[in-house]
Amino acid sequence: MLTGGEKVDRPGLWYAPTVLEGMPAGSTVMTEETFGPILPIVEVDSEEDAIKAANSTRYGLTASVWTKNLAQGERIARRLKAGVVTVNNHSFTGAIPSLPWTGVGESGYGITNSTHAMDLLTRPRAMLIDSSKAARELWWYPYTPALSIIAKSMIELRRGGSGIPSKIRAVTSLIPAMMKRFK
């Protein structure tokens, strides 16, 4: 322990901010969410090892990368498995209500902040009310040669830049096919 660890004199389980070093990979402080002012320091040999160590947890609420090289920081941040990742900051994101706050893995699901939070409170649903009294629908089975002509003619009519002659051909094909389809 580099600093901290003392119980603070107040009711409950309160401890001073604590910095730990040399913690084994499987220790509780490295495998469980502490929700406390605890910072375990882990030494690694390379950038790749740092990313691997950070992503080895089953949790993923937040992560932060600290570096003087912003390009390197962004590159590392993009590879971290966490809901919120910052470079050279850690607590400021909560003050930006337009940023989504979320987690991955066992850090929970859902989103707070931003317009995405409303997605959790809604369930999209499509509803179509067909007031048509037609005996059959244009695009329904059976799929006949007339339906194929209708589809191709409509595509030609919607297509930009195909010219007036092709539009005229499409209409002259479309009308007889429609009459055949609804016969």
Q: The domain that contains 76 carries what CATH number?
A: 3.40.309.10
In this structure, are residues 29 and 16 in contact, taking their beta carbons and an 8 Å threshold?
Answer: no
Judge whether 23 lies within some domain: no
> In sequence order, which residues have a C-beta less than 8 Å from that of residue 35 and are 6 or more positions away?
none
Same domain, 54 and 89: yes
Whether 10 shows a pLDDT value over 90: the answer reads no
Residue 62 resides in a domain: yes
Residues 114 and 159 in one domain: no
108 within some domain: yes
Number of domains in the chain: 2
The mean-pLDDT minimum among 14-28, 36-50, 56-70, 88-102 falls in 88-102
In a domain, 81, yes or no: yes
Average pLDDT of the chain, as a whole number = 83
User: Could you read off the pLDDT of 65-113 as tens digits, one per residue?
Assistant: 989 999 999 999 999 998 888 898 877 666 677 777 777 888 876 777 7
* pLDDT tier for residue 176 given thresholds of 50, 70 and 90: very high
| Residue 151 lies inside a defined structural domain of this protein | yes
Query: What pLDDT does 174 receive?
Result: 94
pLDDT in the model for residue 5: 79
- Residue numbers of the domain that contains 62: 44-120
Concatenating the DSSP letter of every residue in 35-71 gives: -SSEEEE---SSHHHHHHHHTTSS--SEEEE--S-HH
Q: 115 and 152 share a domain?
A: no
Query: What is the reported pTM?
Result: 0.57
Tokens of 114: 């931003």
Is the pLDDT higher at 19 or at 120? 19
For residue 133, which amino acid is it?
Answer: K
User: Are residues 98 and 155 located together in one domain of the fold?
Assistant: no
Omega before 142 within 30 of 0, i.e. cis: yes
> Same domain, yes or no, for 50 and 111?
yes
pLDDT 10s digits, 111-148: 777 677 667 666 665 666 667 777 777 878 788 899 99
In a shared domain, residues 149 and 116: no
Shared domain check, 110 and 157:
no
In a shared domain, residues 105 and 172: no
Domain presence at residue 128: no
Q: Is 85 inside a domain boundary?
A: yes
Q: What percentage of residues in the chain have a pLDDT greater than 70?
A: 87
